[in-house]
Chain A
């Protein structure tokens, strides 16, 4: 309840419980949106009177908001870096026009939260883009979506036009349709695409916050992160921290799938036990043996032991998983975890952009190795070779595709260790014939 709440939100009382992000009564029109949340507090995004960093950036830093795209980098620190790289709030005002890139391309096959957010709360995201743009001294902004993945592209353009007419967009926001593919929505890939190149990851440095789109300092934030920024600008950092934990503040959208009664996207206070979310989603649809947490850069967790774990990166990391972009997939006992992992691994290998040798050679080899473990009769050397490959690819790509692939295989070997022994003794189990549970698009070009 600390006092520094921007006055612009006076007609709206801040939401005290979940949901914060997605209105339960469907998408709001622009007028309804402004009536519910209050006017956009642009004044908070201006450089402070003494020429220092805008109050909004300081508020985002205090809020503890982290990126909701998967990597979980502190959002305020990124905003500060871009504002400073652009010379914003420096002695000459904004020396270099920066760029804001809102990433809603969502290439994680098991995730649907960005699409849902853009469809149900587009104005919150657009508020966040406008405010972030003001705060970092941007002269243009992009909203990147993947239309093939079901992003509501025409509605977004319409919403932007409406806001332009209402004078709410101080910098132009352009909707960009980025190609599908697992690595295409990685931040440097989106920037390469914006700069006229292929949608492929690039080597850093330079970091996008120094030199990104149009060779300008670029703030890349996930669309959910920006929606939180829009709320922090109105209600303050202390309000944001009313939910979540000290280490993992606020709420997050989590997509729950697999053997669950009511699959879909849920907003949770970070730190909520896994079991609570499973219950909210109707409970398991059939007996469950494991959970894939964090999507394909996360890891497997044994069930029901995982129910006690807190849904946050720091709650799940010690157990070998992560919250990542907010994905939970429940694996039923009727499925083979090794076969599921083999399919995911071969999907991820197919998504290698082919730019880095250790990835383009190592991931197919790793996919073959885990396929042999799942579908063959793995001897000890198969396991050793798999582990060797995991170590070989980790940290050796321009993006984290090899690291993520190795991590999910590592967690599978740990969580499905008893299956591994059974496969080694008796050959593959009958469960490998079950229909796939974890989504892994067969055709890379259809990947969303």
Chain B
């Protein structure tokens, strides 16, 4: 509950929170922030859909490597901002739509 300095838009409260304590009542109209704290996008493979075409391994070597059978191994953790557009490109390129860029709940 301790949010510290609410300086970045990524750190506002949960949607269900009601401002009973009266602090910052008019603060969060407008669109909900796209990304709350702890919800950085991650790359995920649907292992059933993946057929080891290997495009993602070519397109995003910073985060994806091949196992001995050609299937992708994804680096753990969120996708860094500077790789986000490249990750998106890899997702779009996957011929079986097996690569996913998701935000964990």
Contacts and interface: CB of A to CB of B under 8 A. Distances in A.
Contact of B46 (A203, A358, A359, A392): A203
A355 B49 CA distance: 8
Interface of B is mostly: loop
Contacts of B47: 203, 355-359, 396-398
A356 B46 CA distance: 9
A228 to B, nearest CB: 28
Interface string A57-89: 000000000000000000000000000000000
A396 B46 CA distance: 9
B90 to A, nearest CB: 17
B68 to A, nearest CB: 7
A95 interface: no
By CB atoms of chain B within 10 A, which of A203, A359, A397, A398 has the most?
A: A203
A381 to B, nearest CB: 15
B48 interface: yes
Interface in A185-220: 202-203
A35 B68 CA distance: 62
Contact of B49 (A203, A361, A397): A203
A203 B70 CA distance: 20
Interface in A341-372: 355-359, 361-362
A424 to B, nearest CB: 24
B50 interface: yes
Nearest to A393: B67
Interface in B43-64: 45-52
A312 B51 CA distance: 39
Interface in A373-412: 392, 396-398
B69 A358 contact: yes
A392 B74 CA distance: 11
Contacts, number: 39
Interface string A308-332: 0000000000000000000000000
A396 B48 contact: no
A396 B71 contact: yes
Contacts of B70: 357
Contacts of B46: 203, 398
A361 B69 contact: yes
A355 B48 CA distance: 5
A356 B67 CA distance: 13
Contacts of A202: 48
A445 B52 CA distance: 29
A358 B71 contact: yes
By CB atoms of chain B within 10 A, which of A355, A358, A359, A362 has the most?
A: A358
A355 B50 CA distance: 9
Nearest to B51: A357
Contacts of B73: 392, 396
Contact of B68 (A359, A392, A397, A398): A392
Nearest to B105: A205
Nearest to B50: A357
Contact of A392 (B45, B48, B49, B67): B67
A397 B45 CA distance: 9
A357 B52 contact: yes
Interface in B62-105: 67-71, 73
Contacts of B49: 203
By CB atoms of chain B within 10 A, which of A355, A356, A357, A361 has the most?
A: A357
Nearest to B102: A205
Contacts of A357: 47, 50-52, 69-71
B68 A203 contact: no
A197 to B, nearest CB: 12
Contacts of A397: 47
Contacts of B45: 396
B67 A358 contact: yes
B48 A203 contact: yes
Nearest to A204: B46
Contacts of A361: 68-69, 71
20 contacts: A203-B46, A356-B48, A357-B50, A357-B51, A357-B70, A357-B71, A358-B47, A358-B67, A358-B69, A361-B71, A362-B67, A362-B69, A392-B67, A392-B68, A392-B73, A396-B67, A396-B71, A396-B73, A397-B47, A398-B46
Interface of A: 202-203, 355-359, 361-362, 392, 396-398
Closest 3 CB pairs of A and B: A356-B47, A357-B71, A361-B69
Given A203-B46, A396-B47, 8 more contacts: A203-B48, A356-B50, A357-B47, A358-B67, A361-B71, A392-B67, A396-B45, A398-B46
